[in-house]
Amino acid sequence: MTSSIATPTHSPPPARTRSHRSIPARLLVAPAVILLVLWMVVPLAMAIWFAFQRYNLLIPDEREFVGFANFAYILTDPTLWISIGITMVLVISVLAITIGLGTVLAVLFNQEFPGRGVARVLAISPFFVMPTVSALIWKNMLMHPVNGLFAQITRGLGLGAIDWFADFPLLAIIIIVAWQWLPFSLLILLTAIQSLDTDQMEAARMDGASAMQLFRFVVLPHLNRAIAVVAMIETIFFLTIFAEIFVTTGGGPGLATTNLAYYIYLKALLEFDVGGASAGGLIAVVLANIVAIFLMRSVARNLDS
């Protein structure tokens, strides 16, 4: 006689039916997207509206629609073209300094030497200083013609003090902005160098390549993409440099350091011409988009190669 012990079988519990459907991801991100769109669209729409109005803050009641009169006035203003020229000089000069010196420093900091970690931290730290604070440091502690460090050094050498913001104002602004943005270029380029294949470098050394040949034919081609990205990001920020000029030179002497951003500030808050400043702002937006499209295409070509 055989007996079998029946073991109870537990059937899996029925799947719980959801009382509601899963929320689509687009609904979760919709509030942030809507807020971001409003953050961008509302100021731009107001700038477009005021650009077609004759609106002066000194006589706010006498506001009227003037069409393209503000644009015609701004485009025939010689100060606008001077400010555009100064902006181009400022952008190109700072780009040349930050990318050129940043590449050299990236190569040097990629080498082994005592205290390299501390040196890297000190080299990158100026990027975390606020533009206003950076400008005040350079104005009052370094470039001051009486108490500044540079004045003390030149006096000690018997050369006399240099009033940087009176004699070389644009050069002083270039130095300040380059000092602040050089760490950004260094950080990006150093990261790019560290991704370089060491086997390729060793093979080039075994073939008898010198240090200059390694830099020219191996390191520099490898940095092309990183340099293009640095140039694109920095150019976008350099087109709107304001704090350094406002704190140090105030756009002067005369118009020597009046870039496009400071020109719009003069129109809006010193001449109280909201219509003209809005027209100038739209012209600046158009120029910035032209530069951005050109740079993005350049970066895309480097990424595809």
Judge if pTM exceeds 0.95. no
Structural domain boundaries of the chain? 76-304
Q: Are 251 and 43 in contact, with CB atoms under 8 Å apart?
A: no
Q: Are 274 and 43 in contact, with CB atoms under 8 Å apart?
A: no
Cα(250)–Cα(248) distance, integer angstroms: 6
CATH of domain 76-304: 1.10.3720.10
Q: CB neighbours (10 Å) of residue 170? A: 18
The encoded tokens of residue 236 equal 């976008």
The one-digit pLDDT tens for each residue of the chain (305 residues) are 444 445 555 555 555 545 456 678 888 888 898 998 898 889 889 999 999 999 888 888 888 899 899 999 999 999 999 999 999 999 999 999 999 999 999 989 988 888 888 988 889 888 889 999 999 999 999 999 988 999 999 888 888 888 999 999 999 999 999 999 999 999 999 999 888 877 777 887 887 778 788 888 888 888 888 898 899 899 989 998 999 999 999 998 989 999 999 999 999 988 899 999 999 999 998 988 888 888 888 777 766 66
Cα(262)–Cα(245) distance, integer angstroms: 8
Cα(89)–Cα(197) distance, integer angstroms: 37
Q: Could you tell me which residues come within 8 angstroms of residue 27 by beta carbon, excluding any fewer than 6 positions away?
A: none
- The pairing of strands 64-65 and 53-54 is antiparallel
Which helix (H) or strand (E) segment holds residue 43: the answer is: helix 25-51
